[in-house]
Chain A
Amino acid sequence: MATKKSKPIVATCWLAGCAGCHMSLLDIDERIVALSELVDFSVSPITDFKELPEVDIALIEGAVANEDNMEVLKDFRKKAKFLIAFGDCAIFGNLPAMRNAFTVKECLEEAFLDTESTVNPNGIIPTGEDVPKLLPKVLTVPQVVKTDYNLPGCPPDADAIWFLLTELLAGRVPEPTEIPYRDFKFD
């Protein structure tokens, strides 16, 4: 244990979200150089998620909307020492969960049969084996797995992300109220 010199491994994934949280991670701008010196990125690890390595920190963006999301999240939970629900979709459901007030069928029919520009004489609704099955209700990340941290925001501010990561790398887990007030936001 004492001689282990390798850098902590950070992995991130993107479930049912808009990628905005990942973009906000990039908004740390020049600090990304410093971050790349502190950690090894294992972002979007491998095609076959069964081969996701053990990671120290995992950032999970997005809600859980289909069976793939569910499987990936559970795998991340297994492999990650410290799992962070990253942003409002992961924590509160946000836009992806708005379909929860409707049935999946209603949503699919609206998109593929009823929208004005759609011409679909055979009434095809994608259900083939190559598209994952949608869950009846979109779930939040903490509803599916235990999280070690929850960083809200749509997206979380880059400064909040930087603050959290540097605290974690220094071995501290800040209380949510320790995040500077201006950076702890739900929008």
Chain B
Amino acid sequence: MKKEKITITVDGKEVAAYAGETILDAAKRAGIYIPTLCHHPLLSNTGACRMCVVKIEGTGRQNLNSSCTTPVNDGMVVTTESPEIKKMRRLNLELIFSERNHQCPFCEKSGNCELQAVAYRLGMDYVRFPFLWPKKEVDASHPDIIHDANRCMLCGRCVRSSEEVDKKGVFAIKGRGIDSDVTVNIDGRLGDTEVTKDDVAIQICPTGSLCEKGLAYSERYGERRFDMKPIEGPVEPK
């Protein structure tokens, strides 16, 4: 079935879009960067991280909306950059940083981390909220994978990819609100699951929470993915 072609306006520019697709996808095709973290093109969207919020004009909507979950309408007018939007993204980003122990200097994902790269791109120079410094578990029971909940941002990418792409359903979110955690088999250990390092769930973790063992610090400083080049979008699996 052929998708209906419509036109929307993004940042004053007319953009061709397909009915039913998200604002994010239409903007991306038009070469407009909208920061994302929980979104990944291989997965369903949940609008959890609020990085991709945009302003939609003329629809009576007052609030910012997540562009990864909002479908386009013909004639929609969207703003992706403004002081208000910048402020909201920055606020959300700082909340993410303050909730867990995202200390970059000695994290093995540093330089290849999407969370860090988005913070660079947004110029996050500090965090206004008090850091919570939770004490979270590190699960190194799997021979090839390490899971460090201290560095998790609860984006749910691992949960969705294990379910939707890897078809294993290894991960789940337990708990509520600020006490939520990614878990396997309800407080089980990764080593007891059928997850492998080649699973998409492991490959596309946007932080240092899920890492393949043995790769830590294996790239020279200055030659890592985001050392010299700003982030353009989610990382692809190998």
A–B proximity contact (CB within 8 A): yes
Measured between beta carbons, the chain A residues less than 8 angstroms from B101 are 98, 101
Measured between beta carbons, the chain B residues less than 8 angstroms from A94 are 103, 105
User: Which A33-63 residues have C-beta < 8 A from chain B?
Assistant: none
Q: How far is the CA of A175 from the CA of B125 in the complex (A)?
A: 9
Measured between beta carbons, the chain A residues less than 8 angstroms from B124 are 176
Measured between beta carbons, the chain B residues less than 8 angstroms from A151 are 125
Q: How far is the CA of A142 from the CA of B124 in the complex (A)?
A: 13
1/0 per residue, CB under 8 A from B, across A144-159: the answer is 0001011110100000
- Contact assessment for B133 and A182 in the assembled complex, using a CB-CB cutoff below 8 Å: no
Measured between beta carbons, the chain A residues less than 8 angstroms from B111 are 187
Measured between beta carbons, the chain B residues less than 8 angstroms from A140 are 126-127, 131
User: Which A96-151 residues have C-beta < 8 A from chain B?
Assistant: 97-98, 100-102, 137, 140, 142-143, 147, 149-151
Measured between beta carbons, the chain B residues less than 8 angstroms from A19 are none
> B229's closest neighbor in chain A, by CB?
A181
Please report the number of residue pairs spanning A and B whose Cβ atoms sit closer than 8 angstroms: 80
| Centre residue among B107, B111, B116, B124 by max chain A CB count within 10 A | B124
A residues near B (Cβ < 8 Å) are: 85, 88, 91-95, 97-98, 100-102, 137, 140, 142-143, 147, 149-152, 154, 175-177, 181-182, 184-187
Q: How far is the CA of A101 from the CA of B101 in the complex (A)?
A: 9
Shortest beta-carbon distance, B226 to chain A, in Å?
9
- Contact assessment for A187 and B123 in the assembled complex, using a CB-CB cutoff below 8 Å: no
Chosen A-B contacts, 16 in total, with CB atoms closer than 8 Å, are: A91-B125, A91-B127, A92-B104, A92-B127, A92-B131, A95-B106, A98-B103, A101-B134, A143-B130, A150-B126, A152-B125, A181-B230, A185-B120, A186-B105, A186-B116, A187-B105
Given A151-B125, A175-B123, A181-B228, answer yes or no on A187-B133 (Cβ-Cβ < 8 Å): no
Given A97-B133, A101-B133, A137-B133, answer yes or no on A177-B105 (Cβ-Cβ < 8 Å): no
Query: B110 in the interface, Cβ–Cβ < 8 Å?
Result: yes
Q: How far is the CA of A186 from the CA of B120 in the complex (A)?
A: 8
Q: How far is the CA of A184 from the CA of B104 in the complex (A)?
A: 13
- Contact assessment for A182 and B228 in the assembled complex, using a CB-CB cutoff below 8 Å: yes
What secondary structure prevails in chain B residues at the interface with A?
Answer: loop
> A141's closest neighbor in chain B, by CB?
B126
Shortest beta-carbon distance, B31 to chain A, in Å?
19
> B111's closest neighbor in chain A, by CB?
A187
Q: How far is the CA of A176 from the CA of B143 in the complex (A)?
A: 41
Query: B128 in the interface, Cβ–Cβ < 8 Å?
Result: yes
- Contact assessment for B123 and A176 in the assembled complex, using a CB-CB cutoff below 8 Å: yes
- Contact assessment for B131 and A85 in the assembled complex, using a CB-CB cutoff below 8 Å: no
| Centre residue among A94, A102, A185 by max chain B CB count within 10 A | A185
> B105's closest neighbor in chain A, by CB?
A154
Query: B227 in the interface, Cβ–Cβ < 8 Å?
Result: yes
Shortest beta-carbon distance, B128 to chain A, in Å?
7
- Contact assessment for A91 and B126 in the assembled complex, using a CB-CB cutoff below 8 Å: yes
- Contact assessment for A176 and B125 in the assembled complex, using a CB-CB cutoff below 8 Å: yes
Query: B135 in the interface, Cβ–Cβ < 8 Å?
Result: yes
- Contact assessment for B105 and A88 in the assembled complex, using a CB-CB cutoff below 8 Å: yes
Question: Within the complex, which residue of B131, B134, B227 is in contact with A182, where a contact is CB–CB below 8 Å?
Answer: B227
